[in-house]
Structure 1
Amino acid sequence: MSKQLDAWVRADSMTAARLPLLCFPHAGGGGLGYRSWSQGLPAHVGVWPIELPGRESRVAEAPFRRIPALVDALVEALSGHLDRPYALFGHSMGAVLAFEFARGLRRVGGRGPELLVVSARRGPTVYEVQPTRLHDRPDVELVAYLRRLGGTPREVLDDPAMASFVLGALRADFEMLETWAYTPELALDCPILAFAGRSDPHAPATDVARWRELTTGAFELCELPGDHFFIHPERAAVLERIGAALDRPHP
């Protein structure tokens, strides 16, 4: 394992004999929540939680503020380790990162994923008339937004010191999303599995379904109970569908 790879993927999650499932975090999140996912997936699938600068074990590093720069760094670090079957998963912001990572690998002649799984994110072709601008809002407004969104433990938001710590990476992630614009390219050729929460106002199923426009391969939309962070209470169902999709033969 190279030093570059070790910086982005937890060393204890790496198994050379398994099909890697690279898991990209939501805004402000890290790889910690993905480390137990292997228990719910087929034995040949190894979970690679992607750790971004500015959080968890990389908290001392400056976070990225532009998606193209982050994708370039990821491609440089990981492309040499993905010359075998692999899959990508991303929740919310992570869906954008996984999608752009797949396209970045293609631009350097890398192997494409066996499967792209996107969760709680509108298709990139959905036009937002007034994109939400959050990265430069005052702390109190960001905390209020996070309370409405869910997904961040209440005890973290109730503690000013802990909240301030979390908001650093979150602001950088929001800035990445708010300065990113979808650029049309050739569609991917891998299957896309998309998840939507039935009560998610930020990524309704009709908008999540627009991911079908980004591939010439198979597309499947799976709606599950819950809001934007349905993957926590519905984790078993999410992993079951991912496992079934990875076990399915693809042309």
Structure 2
Amino acid sequence: MAEPLAARWTIRAPGSSGPRTLYCFPHGGGSAAEYVRWSRKMAGLNVCAIQLPGRGARLAEESAASLDDLVDQLAKELPLSPPYTFFGHSFGALLCFELTHRLIELGRPLPERLVLSAFPAPHLAEFRDGLHLLPDTELLAEVERRHGGIPAEVLADPELVRLTVGGLRADYRLVETHRPRPRPPLPVPFTVLGGDADLVTREQLAAWSAYTDQRPVTVRLFPGGHFYFRERQHAAVLRTVQAAAC
């Protein structure tokens, strides 16, 4: 049963292998493909990108009804292979954080580290903006205004808008309907990354220290905005992530 579940939830680049695994959780509306490409720069590390329902090869699947439901599915079905590290960017940071708590509840092996990128500590996050209720073009325009990362040709083409907006709306709905609850700090160290020109500030990133008992938390900013790892510091970011995973 493990192999079909692995194929459902994960994508690995051909030839990606190593004694340690880096599970990459995509940003809101993102797909696994972006993170699969990281394996070319991470020799000796098994890079495994998470593919969520409603995108890529799972486009026909319904998105999860809630973030808790998605976390529960991942915790029960994702074939985690210790030793491993979680990397999550933006929405993916919240997702892998919540997943780690669920793994504790189920008694499953925990990641050795969480690498959390471009998402504020949960008590500082805005969970009730209602972006997921906006019409398609308004949703994309507002996400582009806040975070960038959406090409102008997508915003100008109704068909590309339709193809892009489904996963984005689904992920924003999961975040905006989520209600964090108080729990003990995780027994897992954190590395927290961000862009120095992002709306998510260093102070919001540093506040993740309240959610782990493994202090101090490493916080590092790179030149760039919300998608700083696509910009000129790409290689430096990947080296930092690889070092955190090893």
1:12, distance to aligned residue in structure 2 (A): 4.4
1:135 match: secondary structure: helix
SS at match of 2:219: strand
C-alpha deviation, 1:235, in angstroms: 2.3
Q: 2:101 matched to 1:103?
A: yes
Letter in 2 for 1:103: H
Normalising by structure 2, we get a TM-score of: 0.92
The alignment's TM-score, normalised by the length of structure 1, stands at: 0.90
Structure 1 runs (4+) deviating above 4 angstroms are 11-17
- Counterpart of 1:24 in structure 2: which amino acid? F
* Number of residue-to-residue matches in the alignment: 242
Alignment of 1:171-250 (within 5 A): 171-201=169-199, 203-218=200-215, 219-233=217-231, 234-247=233-246
Please give the secondary structure, in 2, of the residue aligned with 1:36: helix
Aligned partner of 1:3 in structure 2 is 4
Gaps of 5+ in 1: none
Write the letter of the residue equivalent to 2:229.
I
| Residue segments in structure 2 that go unaligned for 5+ positions in a row | none
**Aligned residue identity for 1:45:** L
Is 156-165 or 7-16 further displaced after alignment? 7-16
Instruction: Give the corresponding residue for 1:24.
Output: 25
Aligned to 2:132: 135
Q: Does the residue aligned with 1:117 lie in a helix, a strand or coil?
A: strand
Q: How far off is 1:137 after superposition?
A: 0.7
Please give the alpha-carbon distance, in whole angstroms, between the structure 2 residues aligned to 1:13 and 1:74. Answer: 23
Does structure 2 retain, via aligned residues, the 8 Å contact 1:91–1:120?
yes
Summarize the alignment of residues 26-41 of structure 1 with structure 2, pairs less than 5 Å apart. 26-41=27-42
Q: 1:220 to 1:2 in 2, by over 3 A?
A: same
Whether the 8 Å CA contact 2:53–2:61 is kept in 1: the answer is: yes
Question: How far is 1:63 from its partner?
Answer: 1.3
1:186 is paired with a residue whose SS is: coil
| CA deviation after TM superposition for structure 1 residue 82, in Å | 2.6
What RMSD in Å do the two structures reach over aligned CA positions? 1.8
Are 2:161 and 1:163 equivalent residues in the alignment? yes
For the 8 Å contact 1:88–1:116, the answer to whether it is kept is yes
Matched residue of 1:7: which SS?
helix
| Identity in percent | 37
